[in-house]
Amino acid sequence: TSSLTAAGLSRRRYVAGGQCKSTAKLEGKVVIITGANTGIGKETARDLARRGKVIVACRDIAKAEAAASEIRAETGNQQVIVKKLDLADTKSIREFAEKFLAEEKELHILINNAGVMLCPYSKTADGFEMHLGVNHLGHFLLTFLLLERLKQSAPARIVNVSSLAHHGGRIRFHDLHGEKSYNRGLAYCHSKLANVLFTRELARRLQGKSHRRVEFTANALHPGSVHSELVRHSFVMMWLWKIFSFFLKTPWEGAQTSVYCAVAEELDSVTGQYFSDCQPAYVSPRGRDDETAKKLWSVSCELLGIQWD
C-alpha cells in the first residue's frame, strides 16, 4: 500500500502542476479581479490579498461579500473591496469603470478572470452570444475603459484567463453570435481563443507605443482543469468532474498561474505570452494568427461602439 500511496501522491503532484514561488509584495498597489467570488478567482484574490489591495468585481454581490469577508478574516487585510460588475451588460461595465476611476487613482494589475462555460444558447443584455459576450467582449470593454489608469500606474499588468480549450476554437466571423449554428462546447472554445488573440494584439499595440523597457504587459494563461463551479450548466460535465476529481486541480492549484502572471518578478517585461503551470505553454496556430487577431480587434470595437487605436 505504501507504494500505492506514493504513486497516488506523485500523480497528485503532477496534476497540481506549477506553483507560484514569488513572494512579491503589492504594498500600495491596486488589483482588480473579475469573478473573484468563487473558484480560481477567489483563490487568486485570497493570495493577492496577502500582498496588497484587491477589488473583487462580481455580478453576485452577496456571494462576493461572503468571499471577501472570509478573505479579510483570513489575511487580516481590510482592503478587500467588493464592486458590482456584470460582464453580460455593457452598461454595468461602464458604471463599474466610472466608479472605479472616480474612487481609485491607481491600478496596477487587472485580472480578467470571470467566465461562463457550456451555457445553453442565450444572449447578453446587448445581444451578444453569452460566451463571446462575457468571456471576450465584456473583458475587452473593461480593459479599454481602464487602460489609461493602468498606463499612468505603470509598471502594470493585464492577465487574461484563457484555456487549453482555445485549441478547439476558431473565430467564426460569419456567425459570431451562433445564430446559424450553435454548440455550447465549441462556443466556449471560440471565446477562449478570442482571449488569446486579444492578449496577443493588445501586447503588440502596447509594445509599439513604448520605446523603453516594457512597463506595461498583457499575458494569457490556462489555469488547468480545475474542480470549480464553471461546469454548472452541464449535468454531464458535473458528473464527469465528480468521477475524475482526483485528476483535477483544486481551485488553489488552478489559481497559481494567474498569481504567477500577476506578480512574478521574472515576467516584468514579458508580454504577449501564454502560460500554463507557471511556465510558457504552446499556443495553437489559430492563436498565433496576427491577421485574425487584428480583425477580431476591429470587429470587437465595432460591436461595442468604441474607438480603440
Residues marked active site are found at 188
Cα–Cα distance, 46 to 38 (Å, whole number): 11
C-alpha cell at 22: 514569488
Beta bridge partners of 280: 275
Residue bearing cell 504552446: 282
Cα–Cα distance, 227 to 225 (Å, whole number): 7
**Taking the CB of residue 33, how many other CB atoms lie within 10 A of it?**
29
Residue bearing cell 485570497: 46
Beta bridge partners of 160: 112, 220
CA 124 to chain centre: 19
φ/ψ region of 206 (left if φ > 0, alpha if ψ in -120 to 50, else beta) reads alpha
Each as own residue / partner, the long-range contacts of residues 116-123 (CB below 8 Å, 24 or more positions apart, any chain) are: 116/188, 116/230, 116/233, 117/188, 117/230, 117/231, 117/233, 117/234, 118/184, 118/185, 118/188, 118/231, 118/233, 118/234, 118/237, 119/184, 119/187, 119/233, 120/184, 120/233, 121/178, 121/182, 121/184, 123/177
Q: Outline where DSSP puts E strands in the chain.
A: 26-34, 52-58, 80-84, 109-112, 156-161, 216-222, 274-276, 279-280
**Half-sphere exposure for 300 (CA within 13 Å, toward CB):** 30
